Amino acid sequence: MSIDNLISEAVARAVKELYGVEADPKSIVPQTTKKEFEGNLTIVVFPWVKAARKSPEQVGTEIGNWLVDNEPAVDRFNVIKGFLNIVIEPTFWNSVLEHIESTPNFGINEVKDDSPLVMVEYSSPNTNKPLHLGHVRNNLLGYSLSCILQACGNKVVKTNIVNDRGIHICKSMLAWLKWGNGVTPEQAGKKGDHLIGDFYVMFDKHFKDEIKDLMAKGMTEDEAKQASPLMQEAREMLVKWEQKDPEVRAIWKMMNEWVYAGFDETYKRMGVSFDKIYYESETYLEGKEKVMEGLEKGIMYRKDDGSVWADLTNDGLDHKLLLRSDGTSVYMTQDIGTAKLRYADYPIDKMIYVVGNEQNYHFQVLSLLLDKLGFKWGKDLVHFSYGMVELPEGKMKSREGTVVDADDLMDEMVNTAREVSNELGKLDGLTANEAEAIAETVGLGALKYFLLKVDPRKNMTFNPKESIDFNGNTGPFIQYTYARIRSVQRRAAEMGIQSTDYMKVNPNEKEIALIQSLADFPSTVAEAGRTYSPALIANYVYDLVKQYNQFYHDYSILKEEDAAVRSLRLALCDATARVIKQGMALLGINVPERM
């Protein structure tokens, strides 16, 4: 049992005996005592003041005395107004440390047969261009959230919906047909997603040139866009695709395969994966079918022009288009179709969509429509809404060809990590392969940590140089600390140091604080799962690492002469290393054994 649970249950027994109040131990949540007061854990006593008919100070004192008399873990206490500050008996912390040490997956809950099934959708790329910086934040948030939810005891299905149809896809296809001369990724020496992205940019360039020419002949910009021969060809190609024209479909299939191969490389390097991938080309017809079903049931209505809408005014929203007058679907229709297929594939208890905050309204509408169409999880779907990520130079602009490419960004991060590590001597004595592996681990760790440590709801600026710093709240700082601990452990093994019983050792103040922080890991994981916030894990690990480094600086470990004290400190090293590794794994970040 954790120290928090132990105290919660003891306090519940105390208020029952003292005041006849039945208190649920789960409702009694001990807080870490503020640094300016003596104590390890603090209990707020205000909930029992009325029943006791005494002042908060009296209630705190009576509960404190009861705990000292009845709970061996409590050494002493003090009361500040309505706050009961509890000092835990020093050697009790050793049993807490021993529990952490003896629990293989400390902080991680077991997934059981009857655990809820949570589906997490993330990535959602278009097949007309490579993944960019915005996708990087999306993928890292989605993957980390999936890991955290599984650590909280949920079954998790990681899913992706690929936008592989529409006018934007036809633009890349048309440009390849016009100016590609049949080039393949192999011939171009490029990843498939990069090659197709080049043609998307090429289409845009030619399209803009056409607009300029038409405007020079007296057309307005809107008239020019409508009259553009290039755009008309793209629209005609989309119609042919809808009609399953064999030639158009063959080119579409071939170019998409190139893109998927490129995406797979990027995902693998980024360290993210999916259990099931859905394609909009396969879901949009399912969505149309579900909308027509809704029309028959009177959930939707048809306008005179043949378009189908949903009236959501009674829900505080407006009228939402679901099928255009020509019968073609919109994004909402596709999402309904995807939901239908997913619900058929899995017994979903909760559905989480990891999508930027510009889509907040879309998911409000989707939730209502899915509920009206009979999906039991529709009303409770979660839109994990996150903010935009920018570079110091400004926003990303994909259509102008200045997109911050995910592959280029990862290359830059690894190169910077290699340079910084070399300058600081972190790679000294390593083979070329070892040094390269560490550069990859540190570079990608820096990228992931920097993006995940920020509250996901906030817009943020990603600064590559700032993220690779071996001091401060960064991935490399945490990774280096882990490698430092592993070095201590290796030296201890080389010296033949044997573990000794440390249970009777009185840990000092900083050792107790470190044990208490380690003991907070399970509740941090639970809170991160409850609030959908990888940032809680990131900042917990950073605080733990800072605390460990202070301990490491202040006390000798291997040179400590008292064998029991030395064993306690080595156990602290081991527990800290394991929690760091586990916490970073929940963020999708690897930690190096040497550095």
Q: Cα(322)–Cα(324) distance, rounded to whole angstroms?
A: 7
Residue ending a domain, among 66, 89, 112, is 89
Whether residue 560 is predicted with pLDDT greater than 70 in this model: the reply is yes
Residue with tokens 């208020």: 15
Residue 464: its pLDDT value, please?
Answer: 82
Give the helix ranges, DSSP H, for 457-504: 464-467, 475-494
Within-domain flag for 200: no
Question: Which residue range is the domain that position 42 belongs to?
Answer: 3-89
63: nearest Cα among 27, 11, 20, 24: 11
> For 130-148, how does the pLDDT look when each residue is reduced to its tens digit (9 = 90+)?
998 889 999 999 999 999 9
Within-domain flag for 81: yes
Within-domain flag for 507: yes
Q: What is the mean pLDDT of residues 21-45?
A: 93
Whether residue 229 is predicted with pLDDT greater than 60 in this model: the reply is yes
Residue 326: its pLDDT value, please?
Answer: 81
Within-domain flag for 158: no
Q: Cα(30)–Cα(8) distance, rounded to whole angstroms?
A: 7
Domain count, the chain: 2
The average confidence (pLDDT) of the chain is: 93
**Alpha-carbon distances of 166 from 134, 162, 428, 442, 546, rounded to whole Å:** 21, 12, 52, 39, 50
Cβ-Cβ contacts under 8 Å for 24 (sequence gap 6 or more): 12
Q: Which two tokens stand for residue 145?
A: 């959230």
Residue 424: its pLDDT value, please?
Answer: 86
Residue 471: its pLDDT value, please?
Answer: 87
269, 314 contact by CB (below 8 A):
no
586: nearest Cα among 106, 5, 4, 125: 106
Helix (H, G, I), strand (E, B) or coil at 551: helix
Using 50, 70 and 90 to split pLDDT, how confident is the model at 180? very high
Residue 403: its pLDDT value, please?
Answer: 61
Residue 396: its pLDDT value, please?
Answer: 41
Number of CB atoms found within 10 A of residue 531's CB: 11
Q: Cα(373)–Cα(347) distance, rounded to whole angstroms?
A: 17
Within-domain flag for 52: yes
Whether residue 395 is predicted with pLDDT greater than 80 in this model: the reply is no
Q: What is the mean pLDDT of residues 95-112?
A: 94
Residue 404: its pLDDT value, please?
Answer: 81
Residue ending a domain, among 89, 114, 135, is 89
DSSP character at residue 111: P
Cβ-Cβ contacts under 8 Å for 373 (sequence gap 6 or more): 290, 293, 294, 299, 336
Helix (H, G, I), strand (E, B) or coil at 359: helix
Whether residue 251 is predicted with pLDDT greater than 50 in this model: the reply is yes
Gap between the terminal Cα atoms of the chain: 36
CATH code, domain carrying 580: 1.10.730.10
Whether residue 397 is predicted with pLDDT greater than 60 in this model: the reply is no
Q: Which two tokens stand for residue 131?
A: 């993944």
Residue ending a domain, among 72, 89, 106, is 89
CATH code, domain carrying 54: 3.30.1360.70
Q: What is the mean pLDDT of residues 528-540?
A: 97
Using 50, 70 and 90 to split pLDDT, how confident is the model at 398? very low
Contacts by 361-364, CB closer than 8 A, 24 or more apart? 361/317, 362/331, 362/332, 362/335, 364/317
> For 317-350, how does the pLDDT look when each residue is reduced to its tens digit (9 = 90+)?
999 999 988 877 888 999 999 999 999 999 999 9
Give the percent of the chain with pLDDT over 70. Answer: 98
* 231 Cα distance to chain centroid: 38
Residue 394: its pLDDT value, please?
Answer: 52
The listed range with the strongest mean pLDDT (297-301, 303-307, 340-344, 584-588) is 584-588
Within-domain flag for 161: no
Give the helix ranges, DSSP H, for 271-385: 280-296, 331-345, 360-372
